[in-house]
Every structure is written in structure tokens, then in C-alpha cells.
Amino acid sequence: MTDRRTPGTGRRGPSGAPRVVPPGTGRPPNRSGRIRTTASTDGRFTFMRTLFAIIMVVALVKLLWVQTIGGTELAARAESQRQVHQVLPATRGSIVDVSGDPIAFTREARDLSIQPKVEEANAEERRKLDSTKPGWDELVDDIADEFERVLGDSVDRDEIEAKLDSGGGFTYLVRNVDVTQANEITKKFPMIGAERVDIREYPGGSLGANVVGATTKSDEGKLIGLQGIEAYFNDALDGEDGRQTFDRAQDNTVIPGTLRNVSEPRDGDTVRLTLDADLQWHVQKAIQSAKDSSGAENASAVVLDAHTGEVRAMANDNTFNPAVGIGAELERGADLGNPAITSPFEPGSVQKIITAAAAIEAGLTDPDEVHSVDGSISMEGVTVADAWEHGPTPYTTTGIFGKSSNVGTLMLAQRVGKQPFSEYLEKFGLGQRTGIALAGESEGLVPDLQNWQGGTFANLPIGQGLSMTTLQMAGIYQAIANDGVRVPPRIVAEQVGPDGAAVQTERPEGVRVVSEETARTVRDMFRAVVQSGPGAQAGTGPQAALAGYQISGKTGTAQQIDPGCSCYSNSRYWITFAGILPADDPEYVIAIMLDAPQRGVLGASAAPLFHDIASWLVNRDNISPSAPARELILQAQ
């Protein structure tokens, strides 16, 4: 039988015909003629189809989310990464004196910085791409040269080089550089950053510092008033910052056309004070000199315009220089406060002018009435004596105050009476704040009438048992200088906006204390205090006299409390003087206080200090000399 197997197969089909295996399969077709697949192959196909379907569904869902719900969020996120909200700082307003001369102002400057590590790497990368580009070492030399050229001796070239070669991160090279100079440097070397800073300048140094105050900087670098005018008017001086928004490219440049929401800054107001800078400077020096020469613990002085009550000078010893920095001044022991308004004291005999005015106003005496004044007086259960021993002496009313007799003053106070005298204390502004635009003002202390007991009424008329500030003391004499009308003092004349519009500070209404006639009579009487001549007709403060000018004023010596015995000390005193220049045509009131000077030493009296200030004023202002005045009778013959 012939073998019909197809070569290479070795197999036959069911009919005996050989089975043909499709090329490349290695498997024979099944009976239906289809290629048979295994279970594992089907599973892989199914898995791939499913995976592909899932990927497509996820992609479609993500696409749908991006185009609908998430699109807004992504767009906002992208915008926020590009968007910059920039503050446009307002410039803090100036503080100027009555003539407009600057006492404090703000100077815009720049802090120059660099990132040495980053810029060194950038320089080397540029050098690799272009061998003609300077390397980092060359750049360091060029930058240091430019700083030295532009800023001169104000910088140390070696220090600049050291900072550039540090290889560190963000580094300040020089701070507080003038804007023009900073622009010149950054234009040549754009990699140097220029950060805006505001510098508060005080061209007069310590001039009026206790009034003007000082500033500090917030964490954001904003100037903030600490005390004085800087603090009291902080909001007005501060102004309002502006805002603007723009988009920033990856290289930190502004994308053109994206600037929007621009709100321009409003610079702060200028505050014009009533202070006279030249006078303030002179008074400050005079006060410090008097304090040093007398050994006093503290000293202060106030000069008022006799008619308006405006403060022309307000000085304290041991003041500070806000330009140096508060921290350094505190370490030095400087006084950052303003004792002329914050530290009350017992004024002593300088207050006797109230007793005189009350008695004259009520018609209870006249300047030439003669009184038999003993060396002491018993009153309210206590005995008060004069500062010198004497028997019954025929003092005129004028002489009682010219000689500063405690006994004679209390004799007149008894005529006035407790109730009226209490009312005069209030009319003259004692026991109440003046309302001056300065923080921390003390109201002083005046006992309520219902609380007067024991020797209260024996003390108050002679300036003991109550307290006042130097400013309040000046206010008493301003009322007499202004023909009996007390005008509460003020120290701010106006605020001027950045547009030049001025808003005058509201002028307080005057308070009629005594009649014009009484005020003129009292002014003339108190010329006796500075009168010199034979002993019986000389006053207690001839050192305050000024040749060619009528001076009306009063000396004061008040015992301080001895904490050891809670009684009045016989060794520690407040020494005061308040006076009117000139008495016949008042222009200024000058009030002075020395705290515990060493008695008997040069400068222990406040009267010579009055003379010093008054002499400077008449020369500076060319004040016309007074008409000749009659000699006053202090002691009858």
C-alpha cells in the first residue's frame, strides 16, 4: 500500500488526507477551519482592552473637569502665581516750626543687596557660553570700584569686596543709600537689588525732641511715632499707602499691559508747630546750662506768646537726639519724656500772683495800701513765718509781693476767703489739663474745697499744698499778660495736606479770669519783684531785670517733701520764676523751674535764667524799649 503522508507532517486527516498546518502557527486549524486560541491569550486581550478603556474614561473625565469645574481653579492658581499685589508706600509728613523750617522730615533711600552665591554661578555660566564675558572675580572688582566711585568715603571698598566674595545667600551691601546714587549703581549692575526704605531725619538733632518725639519701624519697615507730636499725630503724618496689581513673568519682569487696580498713595500731612526753632534752641541750651551749674536734678522752661497762648519754646534738661536712635539714647540715660507737661511740682511764691489778682479784683486792697505785717501768722491751726525774721513792718500791698511775704499774702487771702480763692484757682487753670496736643499731660493737683482742713488754706495762697506743671505755671502769667483773659496753650498751628490745603488748628476760647484793669494793675505791681535799689525798696528777683524794659514777674521757693519724715524738707526746694516781657506791652511769658538745685551755688536762682532768655528775645525780635516807669514803694517810711 502506497504511503500518502505529506512530507513533513507524519499525520493524516480523518479521511486519510494529510492536515495542513498554517505557516508560522505551529498549530493545526480546528475542525471549523478557525485558529484555536488559548485561555491565557484571551485574558490578555481582555485586560488590555479594559485598561485602555479605563485610561480613556479617566482622560475624558479629567478633560471634562479641566474644561468645567476645575478650569476656574487652575486659572486662578496660575493667575495667582503671576499676579503681584504691590504696596505703594506713602511718604510720612514733615514736622516744621512756626516759620516752616523743618524739624523732622522723611527721606526716601535704598538698601542695596545681592546674592553672591547665585550671581557667581550666573557669571561662570555666562563665561562658558561667551568667553568674552567677565568672570566673577572681575565683576567683584568692577562692582566694588563702582560703589567707591559713587559713594566715596561713605563706604569701605574692602568691606564691599568681602561681602561679594562671601559666597553666601542674600546679603546687604550698603544701607540707606541716596536714591539717585542707588539708581546709578543698579543701572550699571542690574543684579544688585534696591529696596526702598524711609529714613526719618531730624536736622536739628535734639531740637524740640521732647515735644516732637521720635519714630521706630514696624516689621514691615513702616515708620511709627513713639511719643510727642510723632505719636499724637501719627495717623495724619502717616498718610495712606497706595496699591497696584500687575503680572510678573518668570524672570520677575512686569508683563506689559498687565498693570491694573492702581490706587495712588496719599502722602502724610505736614504738621506746623507754634515752636520757634531758634528760640527753642536757645532755651534748651540755657536750661541745660542752668541745670549743670546749679546741680539741680531737673529743669524745664516754657515760653508762651502773651496773647495767643501759643508755645514758642518748651525745653527740658537731659533731652535726647532722635536721629541717634532711641536705644542708644536710653542707654545714655536721656529723658525721652516731656517733664514740662508731665511732672507737676509745688510752685511756691510764684503762685502768689493769684492771691494778688483775687484781692485787687474784689476791691479788697489797692497797690499802695500799707499793712502792718508781722514776722509770722497763725492761721488754720498752723503758724507760717516769712523767710526772714522781722517785727511788724509797714509793707504796701505792692511790697508784700515784691518782698514775697508769706504773712502779708495770707493776710490778703483771709480777706478773699476760701470759696472765692478756690474759684480763682480753677479760673487760672489749676487742677486741670490745658488740652495741649501732647500725650501724658498731667492735670496737677488742687485739693477740693470740701477737703480743705488743718493748714490747707494757710498753704495754698503761698504756693504749697498743690502742684502744677511748668506749662500751667506759664498759663497763670499769660492770663495776666493778656489783660485778664487766659487762653489755653496750644503747640500745633495747622496741618497742611500734600495738596497744600491747610487746616488751622481750632483756637480754644479764652477764659476771662479778671478784668483788664485788674490785670494791668497786677502787672504793674509785680514790677516790684525785679526792682533794685535801697534794701527796703528792693524786690526778691532783681537778677531778672532787663535794662530799658519793664519786667513783671515773681520768684518762687517751695519746700519739697522729705520722704523720711513725710514732712517739708529744709534742704530741698523747687526754685521757680515766671515773668512777663515787657510788662507795659506784653509779648512773651517765660516760666522756669529748677528741681532741687544746690542752694548758694551759681545758677541756683531761676531769675538770672529769665534774664538770659528775655535778653535774647529783645535782641532777636528788636523789641522796642519800655517807657520809663515810676519807682514802686514796697515799704512805707
Helix (H) or strand (E) holding 316: strand 311-316
In 3-state terms, the chain is what percent helix, strand and coil (to 5)?
35, 25, 40
Which one-letter DSSP state was computed for residue 47? Answer: H
Q: Are 591 and 301 in contact (CB under 8 A)?
A: yes
- Nearest CA to 211 out of 440, 500, 461, 46 is that of 440
Q: pLDDT tens for residues 538-554?
A: 999 999 999 999 999 99
What 3-state class would DSSP assign to 610? helix
Cis peptide before 322 (omega within 30 of 0): no
Contact indicator for 471, 351 with CB cutoff of 8 Å:
no
Whether 2 has a pLDDT exceeding 80, the answer reads no
pLDDT in tens, 77-127: 655 667 888 788 899 999 999 999 999 999 999 999 999 999 999 888 888
Between 39 and 411, name the one with better pLDDT: 411
Task: Provide the CA 527 distance to its chain's centre, in angstroms.
Answer: 40
User: In a 3-state reduction of DSSP, which class is residue 80?
Assistant: helix
- Taking only the tens place, the pLDDT of each residue in 546-602 is 999 999 999 999 999 888 888 888 889 999 999 999 999 999 999 999 999 987 665
Q: Give the Cα separation of 613 and 578 in Å (integer).
A: 12
For residue 433, give the nearest of 457, 383, 468 by alpha carbon.
Answer: 468
User: Is residue 349 annotated as a catalytic residue, yes or no?
Assistant: yes
pLDDT band of 607, cuts 50, 70, 90: very high
In the predicted structure, residue 426 carries a pLDDT above the cut 50 = yes
Cα torsion at 306, 309, 310, 312 (round to 10°)?
40
With a cut of 60, say whether residue 7 has pLDDT above it: no
Rounded Cα distance between 447 and 430, Å, is 10
> Which of 59-73, 103-117, 460-474, 493-507 is the least confident region?
59-73
CA distances from 437 to 273, 367, 433, 506, 607 (A): 10, 38, 11, 11, 29
Beta-strand (E) ranges in 100-153?
102-114
Say what the pLDDT of residue 619 is.
98
What is the Cα–Cα distance from 104 to 571, expressed in whole angstroms?
42
Are the CB atoms for 540 and 402 separated by under 8 Å? Answer: yes
Task: Say what the pLDDT of residue 10 is.
Answer: 44
Give me the pLDDT at residue 150, please.
Answer: 95
CATH superfamily assigned to domain 277-621: DD-peptidase/beta-lactamase superfamily (3.40.710.10)
Going by pLDDT thresholds of 50, 70 and 90, the confidence category of residue 251 is low
Instruction: Please pick, among 300, 349, 404, 605, the residue that the annotation labels catalytic.
Output: 349
Sketch the domain layout of the chain as residue ranges: 116-169, 277-621
Mean model confidence pLDDT for the chain: 89
Interaxial angle between packed helices 516-525 and 352-361, expressed in degrees from 0 to 180 and rounded to the nearest 10: 130
Q: Specify the amino acid at residue 165.
A: D
Mean pLDDT of 306-325: 95
So what's the pLDDT on residue 15?
46
> Which spans in 482-542 are helix H?
516-525
Kindly state the percentage of the chain with pLDDT values over 90: 70
For the residues 497-521, what does the mean pLDDT come to?
Answer: 93
Tell me how far apart the alpha carbons of residues 468 and 449 are, in angstroms, rounded to a whole number: 17
Give backbone dihedrals phi and psi of 303, rounded to 5 degrees, phi first.
-120, 125
Q: Between 201 and 66, whose confidence is greater?
A: 201
| pLDDT band at 70; cut points 50, 70, 90 | low
Nearest-CA neighbor of 211 among 507, 593, 475, 491?
Answer: 491
On the question of pLDDT at 6 being above 50, the answer is no
Handedness of CA 581, 586, 588, 589 (dihedral sign): positive
Residue-wise pLDDT for 28-50, tens only, equals 555 445 555 566 677 777 878 88
Nearest to 168 by CA among 228, 217, 121, 220: 121
**Angstrom distances, CA of residue 256 to CA of 37, 161, 246, 371, 432:** 66, 36, 9, 93, 62
**Per-residue pLDDT, 140:** 93
